Copies of this chain bind each other. A is one copy, B any other.
Amino acid sequence: MIKKINLAEKFSMFDEYWSPKIVAELNGQQIKLARLKGEFVWHQHENEDEMFMVIEGILTIKLPGEDLILNSGEMVVIPAGVEHMPVADEEVCIMMFEPLSTLNTGNLQGDERTHENLEWL
């Protein structure tokens, strides 16, 4: 059964921050949605590039030496090994595209923000 995925509908199903939800899987990758608000934590992913796309709101991605400001309809790929910290002054809804192996806190595996078994929507 092939079903379409409506982003607005999926976002309406949860309201926690920093807790990515899986909406699709393909070619060993997952498409995840998350609501962010506040500061996350500096981290990196040793083996995975990570894509952030803003669906609604404004997201700052802090990188060593610069801040990237992403508005709705903008995305960025953070290459493996690059430290970054997402920051959202106001609530932001994002979509991510990541390998199955990706942990949200990357190298900080035991962090209080780490989510190991993500929920499917």
Contact = CB atoms under 8 A, between A and B. Distances in A.
Interface of A: 2-8, 24-27, 29, 31, 48-51, 55, 63, 68-70, 73-79, 82, 97-99
Contacts of A24: 51, 75, 77
For the complex, would chain A's binding face be called helix, strand, loop or mixed by DSSP majority? Answer: strand
Contact of A76 (B5, B25, B55): B5
A26 B77 contact: yes
B75 A2 contact: no
Given A97-B97, A99-B27, A4 B51 contact: no
A49 B76 CA distance: 23
Contact of A74 (B4, B63, B74, B97): B4
Contacts of A55: 73
Contacts of A31: 51, 75, 97
A82 to B, nearest CB: 7
A38 to B, nearest CB: 21
